[in-house]
Structure 1
Amino acid sequence: MMRHSVRENCVRLRRSCLRFPERLRLRRRQTRMRYLILLLALFATTARAGDAKPFNPSDYPPGVQTALRYANEECESQDGGPVTFATDTVRKVDLTGDGRDDYIVDFRDTKCGERESTYCGTGGCVMNILVTLPDGSVRPVFDGYVHGYKIMAPPTKRGAARTIRFDLHGSYCGGFGAQACFKQKAITATPFAFKQP
């Protein structure tokens, strides 16, 4: 073990004390940079949210507009106020594998006046799937209540239909409402429905 003189120890102590403010300045600079990056990300997110286009049913083909009219008719039948669609009420995705956009209309976040549950119940929320045919027209293939859905990963075979996993009311699996019930269906131009056993 080496022993240092008092003078050497004082010099070492002074040097380490001089290094401490440098480290502190470096940390402050790094913290400021993090705050600046966070602030820029926040501004970018706010700008994108401000640029979000309001939902407009006329942006979609007539078949999809017909499905959306259901919301207005249902709200009027319940003496509700104006219908407010969520920005993601209609989702465009190629489900049939033919390269054309198909449509999922999900009324989960649609409001009838102040009511939020007009389109949902114990069986889930109203959902429609519409596929685009070769002539450009849109055909409804599913209209029912679902608790949720997940579009499965695209198939490896080019041009194959996508599969959707539906989260349904337990009665569709022979149980009751709270029980988990999942069914999968490959989406084609053929209409389908889920039946209770």
Structure 2
Amino acid sequence: MRFLAALAASWLALITPAWSADISELPIQLQEKIEAARQACTELDNGAFHLEWGAVDRVDLDGDLYHDWVLNERGFSCSAAASLYCGTGGCMSHFLVEDVLHSLLNQGWGLADLGPNRVLLADVHGSQCGDINPTPCVTASTWDSEEKQWRTTDAEWE
């Protein structure tokens, strides 16, 4: 019975968003993003910065079965400006894989497995599809471990 309780607790820890008031436990690249956001907020009428629950996610982005890091600016708030970190194009998400940080403006993201590839799907601004914001537009990317970069396509539909 103890084993099942421990297994359930471990499983729950894997699917819940990470958050810590002490950002010193985060990778330095994410700490720098948070400190820049905090500074921007402070410079606006001495605003108070807050890191909301769910701002930090631990997920397997590259399919290697190890958790990577995601910092979502949708989880940032500033008392001096309601829209400091997000706008009509969405919010920045910072994806840290193998100590390489890439950022993407998005209105939401998720993961899917397609064959051998772990795929990052992101709802992006309609201008990325040649139109305006309300236009549905999605990008799909997969991590290339050899080149240490995200791969996506500009494939044309016929």
Give the C-alpha shift of residue 148 in structure 1: 0.9
Residue 150 of structure 1 pairs with residue 106 of structure 2 = no
The structure with the greater share of residues assigned to strand is 2
Question: Using the alignment, how far apart are the partners of 1:191 and 1:163 within structure 2?
Answer: 10
| Secondary structure of the corresponding residue to residue 24 of structure 2 | helix
Larger mean Cα displacement after TM superposition, 70-79 or 171-180: 70-79
Residue 190 of structure 1 pairs with residue 149 of structure 2 = yes
Question: Using the alignment, how far apart are the partners of 2:22 and 2:122 within structure 1?
Answer: 27
Residue 81 of structure 1 pairs with residue 47 of structure 2 = yes
Question: Using the alignment, how far apart are the partners of 1:192 and 1:101 within structure 2?
Answer: 19
Structure 1 partner of 2:9: none
State the Cα RMSD in Å.
2.7
Residues 178 and 128 of structure 1, relative CA distance in 2, 3 Å threshold: same
The structure with the greater share of residues assigned to helix is 1
CA deviations over 1:43-96 (Å, ceiling 9, x no partner): xxxxxxxxx975331221212212222311321343341210112101011211
Structure 1 partner of 2:133: 177
Residues 150 and 80 of structure 1, relative CA distance in 2, 3 Å threshold: farther
Q: Which contiguous aligned blocks of 4+ residues in structure 1 show a shift greater than 4 angstroms?
A: 191-195
Q: TM-score, normalised by structure 1?
A: 0.59
Question: Using the alignment, how far apart are the partners of 2:83 and 2:75 within structure 1?
Answer: 9
Gap regions ≥5 residues in structure 1: 1-51, 133-137
CA deviations over 1:3-46 (Å, ceiling 9, x no partner): xxxxxxxxxxxxxxxxxxxxxxxxxxxxxxxxxxxxxxxxxxxx
Give the C-alpha shift of residue 156 in structure 1: 5.1
Which amino acid letter does the alignment assign opposite residue 123 of structure 2? D
Residue 139 of structure 1 pairs with residue 95 of structure 2 = no
Residue 95 of structure 1 pairs with residue 56 of structure 2 = no
Residues 54 and 128 of structure 1, relative CA distance in 2, 3 Å threshold: closer
Give the C-alpha shift of residue 170 in structure 1: 0.5
Task: Tell whether the 8 Å contact from 1:80 to 1:112 is kept in structure 2 after alignment.
Answer: no
| Secondary structure of the corresponding residue to residue 180 of structure 1 | coil
Question: Using the alignment, how far apart are the partners of 1:77 and 1:123 within structure 2?
Answer: 23
Task: Tell whether the 8 Å contact from 2:141 to 2:150 is kept in structure 1 after alignment.
Answer: no
Residues 156 and 182 of structure 1, relative CA distance in 2, 3 Å threshold: closer
Give the C-alpha shift of residue 127 in structure 1: 1.3
Structure 1 partner of 2:92: 126
Structure 2 partner of 1:167: 123
* Identical-residue share of aligned pairs (%): 27
Give the C-alpha shift of residue 193 in structure 1: 9.0
Question: Using the alignment, how far apart are the partners of 2:41 and 2:140 within structure 1?
Answer: 31
Question: Using the alignment, how far apart are the partners of 2:95 and 2:74 within structure 1?
Answer: 14
Question: Using the alignment, how far apart are the partners of 1:165 and 1:192 within structure 2?
Answer: 12
| Secondary structure of the corresponding residue to residue 36 of structure 2 | helix
Structure 2 partner of 1:4: none
Question: Using the alignment, how far apart are the partners of 1:191 and 1:53 within structure 2?
Answer: 25
CA deviations over 1:145-197 (Å, ceiling 9, x no partner): 21111112x3554xx4x2111111100000011111111111343157999xx
Question: Using the alignment, how far apart are the partners of 1:155 and 1:186 within structure 2?
Answer: 10
Q: TM-score, normalised by structure 2?
A: 0.72
